[in-house]
Every structure is written in C-alpha cells, then in structure tokens.
C-alpha cells in the first residue's frame, strides 16, 4: 500500500487525476483497474475515480508492487505507445499498435486503449471530462493495428454511432494475404454467422440461421512471390469480417492464427495478423449536427509498422 497527502494545489481535483500525477510511471489501466476493484481509498474510505479531493486528504493506493513498477516497453513488438494522429474540439483519432485491446476484455489486460487515452488527455489538459470519455465510436481487433475514432462527449458519440449505423463513415484497411486473387478488384457478398462458443465466425454463400449479410471490397495493390497486398473497404462491419471473408475465398491473412495458414505463419515467424486500419472517411449524407465540418474529410494512418518479415512483400 502507498499513501499520499493531498496538497493545496489539488484541492477540488479528481482523485484519478491526482494519482496519474503521483504515479507517472504506472500504466493508466492499472490505476483504472484499482478503482474498479475498489482498491483506492481517501481517508480510509473507498472512492470512485470521479471523487473530488480536499487539501490534506490522505489517499491510499492498494496496488501490488509488481504493477506499480510495471511500464510499457516501447521496444517490444505489439506494445508500442499509441499515437494521436488527429484531434479537434469533438473527436480524437488514435493509431493503435497491434496487440493492444481497444477496451477491457475477459483477459483483463493492464494496458487498454480507451483507458490510456482517457488518462492521457486528463493529464495533458487538466480538464474535467465526463466519466468514460473520450469514448470509443467503433471497435478494432486486438491484433489489428491502425485508426480508432473517439468522441470527446456524449452528444458527439451519439452522432458518430448513428453515422456508423447508416454507413456514412468509411473504413479502409491494408493487408497482406496468401496467394494472388484472380481479379484485381472485386466486391464480395456473403453471410456471416458468429459462433460465440468457438470465438470465431463462419461465412456462407447463402443465408443460414443466425447469419447476417456482409459485403467486402478488395483491390490488389501489389503481387509478389505468392502473396498479395490488398486494400480493403468494409461496406458492412461485422466481427472478424475481413479475416473470415478473405479466408473463405482462399486468400487468408498472413499472420492470422485463427483463419490463416499456420504452417506459413510459422515459416515467416509472424506474431500478428497483417492487417491495418489505414483510412477513415466522413461521407455524411444526412444532417450531422455540430459535426457538419467533418463532411468530406478523410484521415490517413501516417505509417504502418509491418513486421520485418513482411517488408520484402510490402515495400
């Protein structure tokens, strides 16, 4: 247990902001988890992260020392620090490294993208955001890297979630697949059924019970030695859609341990699936309230950190 005395300059400040300053080398997700586990106290009383402190309060932190001393290894593949690539008064777009979940899942990771961003902007801006904000507007697989959109407030989140439902926000990806498609461009149609027990999805040509229609467009950008670099445009956005749909037509992603060819993945020594979200476009066709200024705007991923083994294919 560690204990901190609250100085006058933190009077009427949130306890989570206070702890981010007191524990600058501790991952924000560790601190957030401590709040969820009710392991943060003020004057020996358990408090939530939004609790407002008073001068001379005593804050008690019940976090094991191994977590207090744990930091992000920036040189370890898959654990690079996220990067903000676009920000304005209402939205933030973050480049997510591969291997990091966008939100807390059943694995209870100590580093989670939404917690990291919330901690970062609170510490940077010294501003009181609503609890849970900036908030995710969509999801990205743990092992997929690239652009993730966040809303800074509830009104913005509502508008953007509606735009995703109406397919007025476009998402494009770059990937490397096994084999060379017969067509350089194709719009794929099918039906996807999710099997939660097996933690995977299945694609069919015709509708089956519990399935939903999916549409995936691809364009071949490069062909080399039995592999291809593709640009993917999601028309529908279902769980594992890109991975499962490409595997279904015989061109699975390199590095994909679930839908790919593991013998090839082992030879190439790939840890991550070769898939990155590299473009977000705001294709608004209906009224968009205070976000009208985003209409027609496109945000690109500045750089893709392909695994070294893929460089000879991609470059």
Mean pLDDT of all residues in 7-32: 82
pLDDT value at residue 73: 42
User: Parallel, antiparallel, or unpaired for β 58-61 and 2-5?
Assistant: antiparallel
pLDDT value at residue 232: 98
Band of residue 67 on the pLDDT scale cut at 50, 70, 90: low
pLDDT value at residue 79: 47
- Tens digit of each residue's pLDDT (9 = 90 or more) over 209-248: 999 999 999 999 999 989 999 999 999 989 999 999 999 9
pLDDT value at residue 103: 85
185 or 21: which carries more pLDDT confidence?
A: 185
Helical pair 113-125 and 28-36, crossing angle rounded to 10 deg: 100
Q: DSSP labels for 220-243?
A: EEEEETTEEEEEEEESS--TTHHH
Band of residue 37 on the pLDDT scale cut at 50, 70, 90: confident
CB-based burial of residue 283 (10 Å sphere; 0-12 exposed, 13-18 middle, 19+ buried)?
middle
pLDDT value at residue 31: 81
Does the pLDDT at position 281 exceed 80?
yes
Does the pLDDT at position 9 exceed 80?
yes
Cα three-residue angle 97-26-54, rounded to 5 degrees: 125
Does the pLDDT at position 204 exceed 90?
yes
Does the pLDDT at position 80 exceed 80?
no
- Tens digit of each residue's pLDDT (9 = 90 or more) over 88-141: 999 999 999 998 899 876 655 567 899 889 988 988 887 778 888 999 999 999
Mean pLDDT of all residues in 5-33: 82
- Tens digit of each residue's pLDDT (9 = 90 or more) over 239-273: 999 999 999 999 999 999 999 999 999 988 898 99
| Closest of 125, 15, 24, 132 to residue 72, by C-alpha | 24
pLDDT value at residue 202: 97
Question: What CATH fold (topology level) applies to the domain 2-68?
Answer: 3.10.290
- CATH number for the region 83-167+283-295 comes to 3.30.2350.10
- Tens digit of each residue's pLDDT (9 = 90 or more) over 138-194: 999 999 999 999 999 999 999 999 999 999 999 999 999 999 999 999 999 999 999
pLDDT value at residue 75: 34
Structural domain boundaries in the chain: 2-68, 83-167+283-295, 172-276
Question: What CATH fold (topology level) applies to the domain 172-276?
Answer: Pseudouridine synthase (3.30.2350)
pLDDT value at residue 161: 97
Does the pLDDT at position 72 exceed 50?
no
Mean pLDDT of all residues in 67-94: 71
pLDDT value at residue 35: 84
Give strand pairing partners of 150: 92, 136
Q: Is the pTM for the entire model greater than 0.95?
A: no
- Tens digit of each residue's pLDDT (9 = 90 or more) over 285-308: 999 999 999 999 999 999 999 998
Asked if the domains 83-167+283-295 and 172-276 are classified in one and the same CATH topology, the answer is yes
């Amino acid at each position: 247990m560690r204990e901190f005395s609250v100085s006058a300059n933190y009077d009427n400040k949130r306890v989570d902001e206070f702890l981010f300053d007191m524990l600058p080398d501790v991952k924000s997700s560790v601190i957030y988890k401590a709040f969820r586990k009710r392991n943060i106290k003020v004057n020996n009383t358990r408090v939530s992260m939004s609790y407002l402190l008073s001068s001379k309060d005593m804050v008690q932190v019940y976090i094991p020392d191994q977590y207090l001393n744990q930091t992000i290894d920036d040189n370890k593949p898959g654990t690079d620090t996220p990067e903000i690539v676009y920000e304005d008064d209402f939205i933030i777009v973050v480049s997510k490294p591969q291997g990091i979940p966008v939100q807390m899942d059943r694995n209870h990771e100590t580093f989670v993208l939404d917690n990291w961003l919330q901690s970062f902007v609170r510490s940077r801006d010294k501003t009181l955001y609503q609890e849970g904000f900036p908030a995710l507007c969509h999801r990205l697989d743990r092992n997929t890297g690239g652009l993730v959109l966040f809303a800074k407030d509830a009104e913005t989140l509502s508008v953007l979630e509606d735009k995703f439902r109406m397919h007025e926000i476009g998402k494009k990806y770059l990937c490397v697949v096994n084999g060379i498609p017969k067509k350089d461009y194709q719009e794929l149609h099918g039906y996807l059924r999710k099997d939660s027990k097996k933690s995977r999805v299945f694609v069919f040509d015709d509708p089956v019970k519990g399935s939903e229609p999916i549409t995936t467009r691809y364009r071949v950008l490069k062909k080399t030695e039995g592999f291809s670099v593709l640009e993917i445009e999601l028309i529908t956005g279902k769980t594992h859609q890109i991975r499962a749909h490409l595997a279904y037509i015989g061109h699975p992603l390199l590095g994909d341990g679930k839908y790919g060819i593991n013998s090839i993945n082992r030879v190439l020594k790939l840890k991550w699936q070769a898939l990155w979200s590299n473009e977000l476009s705001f294709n608004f066709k209906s009224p968009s309230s205070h976000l009208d200024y985003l209409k027609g705007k496109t945000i690109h991923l500045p750089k893709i950190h392909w695994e070294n083994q893929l460089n000879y294919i991609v470059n």
